[in-house]
Amino acid sequence: MHHKTRLCLFLTALFLASAVLISGHDSQTDPQREFERCRRKCDRRSPEARRICEDRCEERRRRQEEVEAQPGGDAGEREVEDKQNPYVYEDRHFGTDIQTRHGRVRVLRKFTEGSGWKLLRGVENYRVVIVEAEPRTFVVPNHWDADVVIFVANGKGSASLVRQNRRESFNIKEGDVFRIRAGTTTYLVNRDNNEKLVLVKLAIPVSIPGHFQAFFGAAGENPQSFYNAFSDEILEATFNTRKERLDKLFGQQKQGAFLKATEDQIRSMSRHKEGGIWPFGGESKGAVNIYEEGPKHDNKYGQLYEVDSSEYKPLRDLNVAVSLANITQGGMSAMNYNSKLTKISVVIDGEGHFEMACPHVSKESRRESQLPSYQRVGARLRRGTVVVVPAGHPFVAVASNNRNLQLLCFEVNAEDNESHLLAGKRNVMKQLEETAKELAFGVPAQEVDEVFNNQQEEYFFPGPQWRQQRQDLLADA
Ligand SMILES: [Cu+2]
């Protein structure tokens, strides 16, 4: 069956499954029964297609069970939560585009779908994609109608980027950032024997705003090669050869987009330099590692790493930067806002929570001729959570007490951005004149300073629990 038809069927099934979920807790929502019904449908397919179909049923059951196990797992409540908080995305907001035994591709829904339709129009054309390839796999060559910025969140691999008359191949490892230009035929290898290769991608579609597709050429039936869409007479004329030979070539591959490869095959595709040096005219390196130049800010409570267009030129015309905040367990980021950029953050490890002040979700501020009223927007953070922080919005993230929180941020509209710190050693209030402070706060300037000068750390602070523990210790002494 064609890739597109299968995707359609899958989406329809997903839609039906979610309709059942929303309709309430009747017997039909039983994940096991749903799973069995799904499996029965797979029986009618060819062995290859059946395996994929069964994997999908399994995945759907897992997700359904996850949703039911969540506190407040009732669909009605989640809907309310979604409406108030268009800035937070969980596992359930991802669709599974490809799922096989050897890997999967998950695409986050558009930011303007659901309650974000009004507030997140500024990032409508940016999509988050997570790719996971099992150890020793090969990802079949394909190109996208989107520019892509990639962060390697886990594992070791190699990437080959093919353009007319040239190929750039380089090894990639955790922490690497690289760009793939729209239309570049790309293939990837997970060259590790044990670790998954996990890539977090920001896709910026070039044709249909907010939508992109993968195009497979060097493929067969699954993934479907686009050559197969053409008529026989066109193909025969195009390749100047007989139909039988073409049928054999473009009908052979049925294993899916992720293929298991032998050790020798992996080795032959991994003989590249780490990071790789661009061999063509020194435009740039293939990839840069975010940890390479050390942290931009570093203290006991956290580190901030960054790759912007000055370190990696291919990011310039996209106006995107990539940063990684590693917040020490019990620590928090300094309250701050960005002047221009919108952060699309993905939790790549650890747990914690965030808070943000937003004037857009509060009912009161909708009335005309009134000063804004700010609502606190917040959520728990765990691996895979995606949070959007728009320009101008004050924000903090807090790591849980037992693990560091790692936040990968794609920074959209990054050029000439200024980050304004709202507390700590160098905060914006320090720049206000004494009189301005007194007038604005309505208390003597000294009182303002006493509060704003009390936090002596910069960028990362001890979090609420850390502070509590310290106070307990002082009380005991
Ligand atoms: Cu807002």
- How far is 45 from 37, CA to CA, in rounded Å? 14
The stretches of 252-409 forming alpha helices (DSSP H) are 263-268
- Is 343 in contact with 336 (CB distance < 8 Å)? no
CA of 382 to the centre of ligand 1 (A): 22
Residues comprising the chain, all counted = 477
Taking 90 as the threshold, does the pLDDT of residue 150 lie above it? Answer: yes
**Predicted pLDDT of residue 378:** 94
**Predicted pLDDT of residue 466:** 85
What six digits make up the tokens of 390?
Answer: 């728009």
CA of 128 to the centre of ligand 1 (A): 21
Taking 80 as the threshold, does the pLDDT of residue 233 lie above it? Answer: yes
3 three-class SS: helix
Taking 70 as the threshold, does the pLDDT of residue 152 lie above it? Answer: yes
- Cα atoms in the Cβ-side hemisphere of radius 13 Å centred on 393: 28
CA of 94 to the centre of ligand 1 (A): 23
What six digits make up the tokens of 238?
Answer: 């195009």
The pLDDT tens digits of the residues spanning 49-67 come to 777 777 777 767 666 655 5
CA of 356 to the centre of ligand 1 (A): 9
CA angle (249 as vertex; 246, 253 as ends), nearest 5: 140
- How far is 144 from 283, CA to CA, in rounded Å? 22
Taking 70 as the threshold, does the pLDDT of residue 133 lie above it? Answer: yes
The pLDDT tens digits of the residues spanning 89-108 come to 999 999 988 888 999 999 99
Neighbours of 324 (CB within 10 A): 22
CA of 387 to the centre of ligand 1 (A): 13
CA of 336 to the centre of ligand 1 (A): 14
CA of 463 to the centre of ligand 1 (A): 24
Q: For residues 382-394, give the mean pLDDT.
A: 97
- Cα atoms in the Cβ-side hemisphere of radius 13 Å centred on 348: 26
The pLDDT tens digits of the residues spanning 240-260 come to 999 999 888 998 888 888 888
CA of 417 to the centre of ligand 1 (A): 18
Per 3-state DSSP, the chain is made up of helix, strand and coil in percentages (nearest 5) of: 30, 35, 35
Q: If pLDDT is split at 50, 70 and 90, which confidence band does 450 have? A: very high
**Predicted pLDDT of residue 29:** 52
Cα-based distances in Å from 372 to 17, 115, 340, 365, 369:
40, 20, 20, 5, 9
Taking 50 as the threshold, does the pLDDT of residue 198 lie above it? Answer: yes
CA of 120 to the centre of ligand 1 (A): 9
The stretches of 303-415 forming alpha helices (DSSP H) are none
Closest-CA residue to 103 (of 268, 256, 265): 256
Which stretch of 41-45, 129-133, 164-168, 383-387 has the lowest confidence by average pLDDT?
41-45
CA of 343 to the centre of ligand 1 (A): 13
CA of 84 to the centre of ligand 1 (A): 11
Q: For residues 334-350, give the mean pLDDT.
A: 97
Taking 80 as the threshold, does the pLDDT of residue 126 lie above it? Answer: yes
Q: How many H-runs (helices) and E-runs (strands) does the chain carry?
A: 10, 27
CA of 447 to the centre of ligand 1 (A): 30
**Predicted pLDDT of residue 263:** 87
CA of 393 to the centre of ligand 1 (A): 7
Taking 50 as the threshold, does the pLDDT of residue 417 lie above it? Answer: yes
Q: For residues 25-46, give the mean pLDDT.
A: 68
CA of 378 to the centre of ligand 1 (A): 12
- How far is 368 from 449, CA to CA, in rounded Å? 35
- Helices 243-251 and 232-239: crossing angle in degrees, nearest 10, is 100
**Predicted pLDDT of residue 444:** 95
CA of 212 to the centre of ligand 1 (A): 27
CA of 175 to the centre of ligand 1 (A): 31
Which stretch of 20-29, 239-248, 288-297, 353-362 has the lowest confidence by average pLDDT?
20-29
CA of 367 to the centre of ligand 1 (A): 15
Taking 50 as the threshold, does the pLDDT of residue 281 lie above it? Answer: no
**Predicted pLDDT of residue 346:** 98
Q: Mean pLDDT across the chain, nearest whole number?
A: 85
The pLDDT tens digits of the residues spanning 3-34 come to 555 555 554 454 444 433 333 333 345 667 77
Q: What's the gap between Cα 310 and its chain centre?
A: 23
Counting Cβ atoms within 10 Å, is residue 91 exposed (0-12), middle (13-18) or buried (19+)? middle
Which stretch of 164-173, 263-272, 345-354 has the lowest confidence by average pLDDT?
263-272
